[in-house]
Amino acid sequence: MTDDAWTQEQIRAHIDAGLPLVPLFNIDVLEAAAHTASVRLGPGPHVTRPGGSVAGPVQFALADVAIYALILAEKHDAMAVTVDLNINFLRPAMTLPLIATATPLRMGRRLFTAEVRIVEASTSKLVSHATGTYALSGAA
Amino acid sequence: MTDDAWTQEQIRAHIDAGLPLVPLFNIDVLEAAAHTASVRLGPGPHVTRPGGSVAGPVQFALADVAIYALILAEKHDAMAVTVDLNINFLRPAMTLPLIATATPLRMGRRLFTAEVRIVEASTSKLVSHATGTYALSGAA
Amino acid sequence: MTDDAWTQEQIRAHIDAGLPLVPLFNIDVLEAAAHTASVRLGPGPHVTRPGGSVAGPVQFALADVAIYALILAEKHDAMAVTVDLNINFLRPAMTLPLIATATPLRMGRRLFTAEVRIVEASTSKLVSHATGTYALSGAA
Amino acid sequence: MTDDAWTQEQIRAHIDAGLPLVPLFNIDVLEAAAHTASVRLGPGPHVTRPGGSVAGPVQFALADVAIYALILAEKHDAMAVTVDLNINFLRPAMTLPLIATATPLRMGRRLFTAEVRIVEASTSKLVSHATGTYALSGAA
């Protein structure tokens, strides 16, 4: 954690280099700013289940990356770790891309909690909702 | 859902063919029987974060597959879908393989709930705990 | 579950008579309509902990009642039961009344999922956030 | 948080005095020791819903108190606060007393996570399962 703001370019580069699932699943950071971050899941060979819906673990990854991008923008804390994450799968996600948008619920000194809404970009339908809590490193 | 029991071989084959993340992440179904199912995460190029710990979404996938294998063994319901899953990351998972063991909490007609413990095989340390609820298809 | 809409008065009367914790904790249904329901926690002898903050189980009750009022308004299903509820306590709730507002995330045939935001009325500060899933009776 | 162990008598007295819902709901601390704590819900005017099942918020209170008793026994930290709690209601709780047993999942310096199983004493049937995370005060 530093007091210097990260640019969106720095956040994107940090996430692409640090989280191998991001390029593997074709996830892009669209925005990472104060109070909101959004990421997009594009088409790829690993994301769908038979029948064509997006697999749960891929949606989990999308929510996790969205919150991590938000923490980088708000707290500049690359060492933050996920404490717990609760995800509700509301309806099958049938069309890509998906957009996951994270907004903060708690921005504490030690704990950061956010909610994430995942929608189909083409229909705006809500496909899943997550809330996650992260431990800030407080270290750097 | 049928009344015919699936053998472990049928469950393994169904999961390998139906869930692309299972071979991608090097997940193996060790056991899928009445009242318990366990799956193993072996080494692979996609599972670790920098520093060497196993990424959260990979642990989520492991928990999800363990519960799905349990549902196949208990309910023979290949069309069951995840309603929600809550996962607590308790400490960094630093050595592979990981073993995830699912046990049932509710085996209803419509809803199936299970808990999952994920441990490092070499140390037996608990690295994460999940509870998940699935909607049974009741269809076939 | 019936096709006849309940009036807000009927919903209030049903909740007051059926849930003993509602009068005990001094909870009032403010609104129960399509797509939103809100309930208020007033002062009372049972709701605070030493130091003055509102106890967690009281906030849980508030969230549970808000979602139940929403289900009565949307689905007219008095026999709906809570499947699971996840609540994040974000900061101490120090001033009463609290207002809990529930909005639907999934309105299925069998499952109903909603999120709830609990704020202090005087400060508008968010003190907790919950998501809950309910099984609809599909019976009546 | 102090380094002096609390006796079970001290834990009981602290909980009875500090949590008004404990006497209101007729909750007793049965045991609070290293690695396990159990509490009992006895009969009372406020705990049941029409039809006779134990209300969800009362079960939530039971789980919350069980974990708090465990934290007092393990960490001697009276200022610990609930960060989040996820509870699955598995089947109706129809006979009292209920017994809630908490066991630790994480006993960190800052965060304490436990799981709770709530059973009917007379039938040993599991009626609900919870996992909760608490922030330790680290203060005293």
Distance CA B5, CA B73 (A): 7
pLDDT for B112 equals: 98
What's the pLDDT band for D140 if we cut at 50, 70, 90?
very low
Q: Does B88 touch chain A (CB under 8 A)?
A: yes
Question: Any chain D CB within 8 A of the CB of A84?
Answer: yes
pLDDT for the residue numbered A3: 52
Q: What is the mean pLDDT of chain D?
A: 92
Domain definitions of chain C by residue range: 8-135
- Tell me what the pLDDT averaged over chain C comes to: 92
Tell me what pLDDT residue A4 has: 65
**Which partners does chain D have (≥3 C-beta pairs < 8 Å)?**
A, B, C
- The Cα–Cα gap between D68 and D38 comes to 10
pTM: 0.95
Contact flag A86-C90 (C-beta cutoff 8 Å): no
Average pLDDT value for residue range D108-126: 97
Mean of the per-residue pLDDT values of chain A: 92
Q: For a pLDDT cut of 90, what percent of chain C falls above it?
A: 84
Q: Per residue in A10-24, pLDDT tens? A: 999 999 988 999 999
- Please name the helix (run of DSSP H) or strand (run of DSSP E) that holds residue B66, with its range, or none: helix B56-75
Distance CA C11, CA C64 (A): 14
Q: Which residues pair with C65 in a beta bridge?
A: none
- Helix (H), strand (E), coil (C) string for chain A: CCCCCCCHHHHHHHHHHHCCHHHHCCEEEEEEECCEEEEEECCCCCCECCCCCECHHHHHHHHHHHHHHHHHHHHCCCCCEEEEEEEEECCCCCCCCEEEEEEEEEECCCEEEEEEEEEECCCCCEEEEEEEEEECCCCC
Q: How far apart are CA C68 and CA C82, in angstroms?
A: 9
Backbone torsions φ then ψ of A58, nearest 5 degrees? -70, -40
Residues of C in contact with B130 (CB under 8 A): none
Tell me whether residues B83 and C110 touch, CB distance under 8 A. no
Residues 115-134 of D with CB under 8 A from B: 115, 126, 129, 131, 133
Q: What pLDDT digit, counting tens, does each position of B97-137 carry?
A: 999 999 999 999 999 999 999 999 999 999 999 999 999 99
| Minimum distance, in Å, between the CA of residue C112 and any CA atom of chain A | 9
**pLDDT, average across residues C24-53:** 90
Pull the structure tokens for residue D34: 């290293």
Looking at residue A46, its pLDDT comes to 84
Question: Would you say D34 and D74 are in contact if contact means Cβ atoms under 8 Å apart?
Answer: yes
CATH of B8-135, one of 3.40.225.10, 3.10.129.10, 3.30.70.360, 3.40.190.10: 3.10.129.10
Which residues in chain A have their CB less than 8 angstroms from residue B81's CB? 89, 92
- Residue A140 has a pLDDT of 36
D51 close to C (CB below 8 A): no
pLDDT-based confidence at residue A31 (cuts at 50, 70, 90): very high
Question: Averaged over C10-39, what is the pLDDT?
Answer: 94
pLDDT-based confidence at residue C93 (cuts at 50, 70, 90) = very high
pLDDT of residue D34: 85
Helical (H) or strand (E) element with C114:
strand C111-120
Q: What backbone phi and psi angles, to 5 degrees, belong to C26? A: 65, 50
- Residue B72 is encoded by which pair of tokens? 């196949």
Q: What is the spatial distance between Cα D19 and Cα C13, in angstroms, rounded to a whole number?
A: 30
| pLDDT value, residue C49 | 73
Distance from CA of A114 to the nearest CA of D (A): 13
d(CA D69, CA D116): 12
Distance from C-alpha of B81 to C-alpha of B137, rounded to nearest angstrom:
8
pLDDT band at C45 (very low <50, low <70, confident <90, very high): confident
Tally DSSP H helices, then E strands, for chain C: 3, 6
DSSP 3-state helix, strand, coil percentages of chain C (rounded to 5)? 25, 40, 35
Give percent of chain D above pLDDT 90: 84
* Residue ranges, chain B, pLDDT below 70: 1-4, 50, 138-140
Cβ within 8 Å, pair B115-D129: yes
Q: Model confidence over D68-97: pLDDT tens digits?
A: 999 999 999 999 999 999 999 999 999 999
The pLDDT of D35-44, averaged and rounded, is 96
Q: What is the mean pLDDT of residues C67-96?
A: 96
ipTM: 0.94
pLDDT of residue C43: 92
